[in-house]
């Protein structure tokens, strides 16, 4: 590290110079931080301050820069020096804005600032400015799998932006479900009548677009590679296979209708006059603006009942527990088919809850004006009786059972995602624990009925052939923070394969996925990470001689970025890596690191804090805060002037999944009185930006209890919390309550050893 030259810059602006002794900070940077160059500036983020740093980089040969000013989340453009290693000491949000401006608090406030500068200097000494991935792929074509509305929209949007597109459809024609509809729900004012589907126009646009190559009667039989360099085998029904290269992938494989044969109690299969919504669309197309006729005898329908939530929003075995979103509007639209051709047809929509997303109540009111009746009731049974259908239901307004008769019954069944093979169902992998013992890890099995499916993408990843699923079978994507993002870098989902949705929502969703796919190929070309660390050039490396081949990194990587060679050593695919550091946190022998984030960059921050002895009555609490939710929430708490204890020292981490247990044990051995880990919400409704990081951290920290017992330390000294970015009021309270708890149980007995 002798070739490195470190410079520290202490800002006096935003009240820092008024509240802190910046001369003392400068001395610490020079003496303890080993900085070759130390400067103070009244407003470091202004043009003069930025030029001062830039001139030192170019004229003084500075390679490592420490900025002691505001949060690392602030002034990123002003301090965007991408040719040096950069560290930030958070003196504004992390110190003066969370401490009272009172004489009695001045000493502990200064100690807090001193430590943050020490920590930034210690971190920077073990950092390198990362170079771009040399194995980056440069292909900018985009593969779209699925030729329905979502797939065609994504293809057209990518083409408009100037990107080449390969569109693969397994059937013989484009259009998907939309091409099978008679009409669609209106997407614009006045939301009064069904409108043309627009599918034929979309198909023509795709077929005449020079940037789009269409494969019909084809499927994906192999997908390998990474963003910027995917290799795809596209196989036709004839058996002919072509191999294409693409930069990113959009899975728009759509949905299938729920199998109404599972609803015999509602008459399906007992009578041809009980149909689902898709079958009614075919009857309407056959009628071609004329009266709709029932399938059994061709008689013109004079009365029809629409049964909402048929096999949906139900806890019964084999039913769908969720709402499919479009069904209420679809039934309203289909009821208008009858009224528009013959106002005298008796049309009843039987609903529990009526939901009309996208058009308010306008479409519903239009149906009422046309004479469609709406009845709040739950249908129990549908039976054919004397040439008609008898619908038995419970009237939820009158609170009594009732019977309605109809010529035709339409069941509003739901959407089942065409998401491919559920790769998590039967996955069990052997890994070794920290003591070298073998243990099994398996994903939890679900109790839902599984339908035999074929793979959509046929991935060659060791983690499985398709994208991971959510609990209801939809392809997993990051709903909270990064819609369309999946656990496979460079592969995005959109449309009903991601969640239930109607045509309007599908087209918006497809546009978003196209933009993400474009961003992926551009980042890949530059060797940079995709979201959520978009633009990060770092990637993991490991010391082969220290690796024990335990497989923890390969198993725990949420994104399938690590494979193994023939000798079971990890092989890192940098282009797939999201730079979360989960592999680093998983490694029991600590041989995995990033050039700008490692066990040492964090470990040295922890160790460099000035540790008061037990008689000073100044505890030290280490807070390892996720940079995605917890750290921003703490910054926003500071902006609101919410105070918390001066005894905490906060270290932002890329993800709680990157936390190596050595940091916790080192902290306790160094005299810290407590350790707080703040990560994102885990579980089915996870908010973790890296999907599994928070969950893995909770699991690892559960094993810390054994270490605490061996050291005869209280389990309360290490606590893990799930926090959200909106927990602005909660986090300062959480910190203060934790400090009070440490005061109650006493100082760490290892302090001073």
Domains and CATH numbers, the chain: 1-129 (3.40.50.960), 142-254+418-525 (3.50.50.60), 257-415 (3.50.50.60)
Q: What are φ and ψ of residue 588, in 5° steps?
A: -75, -20
Whether the per-residue pLDDT at 442 is higher than 50: the answer is no
Chain mean position to CA 401 = 45
Task: At 490, list the tokens.
Answer: 């460079």
Whether 294 has a pLDDT exceeding 90, the answer reads yes
Q: What is the pTM of this model?
A: 0.90
Q: Are 675 and 718 in contact (CB under 8 A)?
A: yes
**Dihedral angle computed from the Cα positions of residues 196, 202, 204 and 208, in that order, rounded to the nearest 10 degrees:** 160
Averaged pLDDT for residues 259-269: 96
Backbone angles phi, psi at 717, to 5 degrees: -70, -15
For residue range 23-74, what is the model confidence (pLDDT) as tens digits?
999 999 999 999 999 999 999 999 999 999 999 999 999 999 999 999 999 9
**Residues 6 or more apart from 40 whose CB is under 8 A from it?**
9, 10, 11, 12, 22, 23, 26
**564-580 mean pLDDT:** 91
Alpha carbon distance 672, 669 (integer Å): 7
From the list 682, 674, 717, the residue with the least C-alpha distance to 699 is 682
Structure tokens at 516: 């993400």
Q: How confident is the model at residue 451 (pLDDT cuts 50, 70, 90)?
A: very low
* pLDDT at residue 703 in the model: 83
d(Cα 350, Cα 302) in Å, to the nearest integer? 17
Per-residue confidence at 478, pLDDT binned at 50, 70, 90? confident
Model pLDDT, residue 416 = 96
pLDDT, position 136: 83
Question: What is the pLDDT, as a whole number, of residue 618?
Answer: 93
Query: Which pair of tokens denotes residue 694?
Result: 């928070």
Q: Answer yes or no: is pLDDT of 17 > 90.
A: yes
Mean pLDDT of 115-121: 98
Residue 674 in this model has a pLDDT that exceeds 60: yes
Listed residue (343, 341, 412) closest to 372, CA to CA: 343
Give the Cα separation of 721 and 708 in Å (integer).
Answer: 18
User: Contact 496/506 with Cβ under 8 angstroms?
Assistant: yes
User: What is the predicted pLDDT for the residue at 428?
Assistant: 42
pLDDT at 437 over 70: no
Is residue 532 within 8 A of residue 481, CB to CB? The reply is yes
Instruction: Indicate the pLDDT class of residue 753, thresholds 50, 70 and 90.
Output: low
Q: What percent of the chain has pLDDT over 70?
A: 96
Largest interatomic CA distance in the chain: 97
Instruction: Supply the pLDDT for residue 430.
Output: 47
Contact (CB, 8 A) for 48 and 12: no
Residue 184, beta-bridge partner list: 195
Q: Token match 């006059």: residue? A: 273
Which phi and psi angles does 274 have, rounded to 5°?
-105, 115
Least confident of 78-87, 323-332, 597-606, 679-688: 679-688
DSSP state for residue 533 in the 8-state scheme: S
Neighbours of 427 (CB within 10 A): 14
Query: Given this model, what pLDDT does residue 1 score?
Result: 41
Segments of 161-282 assigned E as strands: 165-168, 212-215, 218-224, 230-236, 241-246, 248-251, 255-257, 274-276
pLDDT, average across residues 89-118: 97
Give the residue from 241, 751, 223, 236 showing the smallest Cα distance to 458.
223
Task: Give the separation between CA 735 and CA 181, rounded to whole angstroms.
Answer: 57
Residue 438 pLDDT = 45
pLDDT value at 429 more than 80: no
Residue 617 phi, psi dihedral angles, 5° rounding: 55, 40
What pLDDT shows up at residue 2?
Answer: 47
pLDDT at 108 over 70: yes
Mean pLDDT, the chain, rounded, equals 92
The reported pLDDT for the residue numbered 3 is 82
Confidence of residue 477 (pLDDT cuts 50, 70, 90): confident
Helix ranges restricted to H, 587-678: 599-608, 630-639, 661-669
Does residue 313 register a pLDDT over 90? yes
Q: Are strands 346-351 and 373-385 parallel, antiparallel or unpaired?
A: parallel
Residue-wise DSSP of 707-739: HHHHTT--GGGEEEEE--TT-TTHHHHHHHHHH
Spatial neighbors of 160 by CB under 8 A, at least 6 apart, are none
How far apart, in whole angstroms, are the C-alpha atoms of residue 232 and residue 245? 6
Say what the alpha-carbon torsion angle 220, 224, 228, 232 is, to the nearest 10 degrees: -30
pLDDT in tens, 692-701: 899 999 999 8
Confidence of residue 447 (pLDDT cuts 50, 70, 90): very low
Return the pLDDT at 443: 40
Mean pLDDT lowest among 112-121, 425-434, 704-713? 425-434
Residue 324: pLDDT band (50, 70, 90) is very high
pLDDT at residue 445 above 90? no
Pairing of strands 218-224, 373-385: unpaired
Q: Which CA distances in Å does 320 have to 260, 309, 390, 547?
A: 12, 9, 25, 46
Locate 666 and state its tokens: 């080192």
């Amino acid at each position: 590290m002798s070739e490195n030259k470190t410079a520290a810059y202490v800002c006096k602006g935003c009240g820092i110079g008024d509240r802190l002794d910046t001369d003392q900070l400068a001395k610490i940077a020079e003496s303890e931080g080993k900085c070759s160059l130390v400067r103070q500036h009244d407003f470091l983020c202004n043009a003069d301050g930025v030029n001062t740093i830039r001139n030192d980089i170019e004229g003084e040969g500075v390679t490592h820069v420490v900025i002691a000013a505001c949060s690392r989340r602030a002034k990123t453009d002003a301090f965007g020096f991408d040719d040096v290693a950069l560290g930030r000491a958070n003196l504004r949000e992390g110190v003066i804005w969370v401490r009272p401006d009172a004489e009695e608090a001045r000493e502990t406030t200064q100690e807090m600032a001193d430590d943050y500068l020490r920590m930034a200097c210690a971190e920077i000494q073990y950092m390198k400015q990362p170079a771009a991935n040399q194995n980056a792929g440069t292909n900018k074509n985009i593969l779209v799998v699925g030729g329905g509305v979502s797939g065609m929209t994504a293809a057209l949007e990518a083409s408009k932006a100037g990107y080449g597109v390969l569109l693969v459809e397994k059937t013989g024609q484009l259009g998907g479900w939309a091409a099978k509809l008679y009409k669609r729900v209106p997407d614009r004012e006045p939301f009064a009548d069904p409108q043309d589907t627009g599918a034929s126009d979309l198909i023509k646009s795709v077929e005449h677009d020079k940037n789009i190559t269409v494969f019909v009667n084809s499927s994906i039989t192999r997908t390998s590679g990474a963003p910027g360099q995917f290799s795809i085998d596209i196989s036709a029904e004839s058996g002919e296979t072509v191999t294409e290269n693409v930069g990113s992938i959009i899975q728009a494989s759509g949905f299938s209708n729920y199998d109404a044969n599972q609803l015999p109690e509602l008459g399906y299969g007992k009578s041809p006059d009980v149909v689902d919504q898709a079958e009614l669309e075919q009857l309407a197309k056959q009628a071609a603006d004329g009266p709709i006729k029932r399938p059994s005898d061709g008689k013109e329908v004079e009365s029809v009942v629409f049964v909402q939530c048929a096999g949906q929003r139900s806890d019964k075995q084999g039913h769908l527990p969720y709402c499919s979103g479009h069904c209420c509007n679809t039934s309203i639209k289909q009821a208008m088919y009858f009224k528009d051709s013959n106002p005298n047809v008796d049309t009843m929509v039987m609903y529990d809850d009526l939901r009309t997303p996208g058009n308010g109540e306008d479409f519903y009111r239009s149906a009422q004006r046309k004479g469609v009746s709406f009845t709040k009731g739950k249908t129990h049974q549908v039976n054919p009786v004397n040439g008609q259908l008898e619908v038995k239901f419970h009237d939820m307004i009158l609170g009594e059972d009732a019977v309605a008769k109809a010529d035709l019954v339409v069941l509003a069944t739901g959407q089942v995602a065409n998401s491919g093979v559920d790769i998590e169902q039967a996955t069990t992998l052997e890994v070794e624990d920290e003591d070298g013992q073998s243990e099994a890890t398996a994903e939890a099995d679900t109790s839902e009925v599984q339908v035999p499916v074929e793979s959509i993408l046929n991935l060659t990843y060791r983690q499985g052939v398709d994208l991971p699923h959510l609990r209801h079978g939809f392809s997993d994507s990051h709903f909270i923070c990064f819609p369309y993002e999946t656990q496979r870098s460079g592969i995005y989902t959109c449309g009903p394969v991601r969640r239930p949705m109607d045509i309007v929502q599908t087209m918006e969703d497809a546009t978003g996925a196209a933009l993400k796919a474009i961003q992926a190929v551009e980042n890949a070309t530059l060797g940079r990470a995709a979201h959520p660390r978009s633009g990060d050039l770092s990637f993991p490396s490991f010391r082969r001689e220290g690796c024990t081949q335990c497989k923890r990194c390969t198993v725990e990587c949420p994104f399938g970025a690590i494979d193994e060679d023939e000798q079971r050593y990890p092989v890192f695919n940098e282009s797939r890596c999201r730079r979360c550091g989960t592999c680093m946190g998983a490694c029991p022998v600590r041989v995995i690191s990033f050039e700008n984030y490692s066990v040492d960059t964090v470990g040295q921050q922890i160790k460099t804090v000035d540790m008061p002895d037990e008689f000073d009555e100044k505890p030290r609490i280490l807070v390892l805060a996720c940079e995605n939710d917890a750290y921003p929430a703490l910054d926003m708490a500071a902006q609101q002037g919410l105070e918390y204890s001066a005894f905490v020292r906060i270290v932002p981490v890329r993800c709680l999944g990157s936390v190596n247990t050595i940091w916790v044990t080192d902290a306790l051995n160094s005299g810290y009185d407590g350790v707080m880990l703040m990560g994102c919400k885990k579980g089915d409704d996870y908010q973790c930006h890296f999907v599994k990081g928070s969950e893995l951290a909770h699991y690892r920290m559960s094993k810390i209890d054994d270490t605490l017992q061996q050291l005869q330390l209280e389990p309360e000294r290490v606590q893990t919390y799930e926090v959200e970015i909106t927990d602005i009021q909660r986090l300062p309270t959480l910190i203060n309550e934790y400090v009070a708890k440490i005061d109650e149980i006493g100082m760490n007995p290892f302090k001073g050893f």
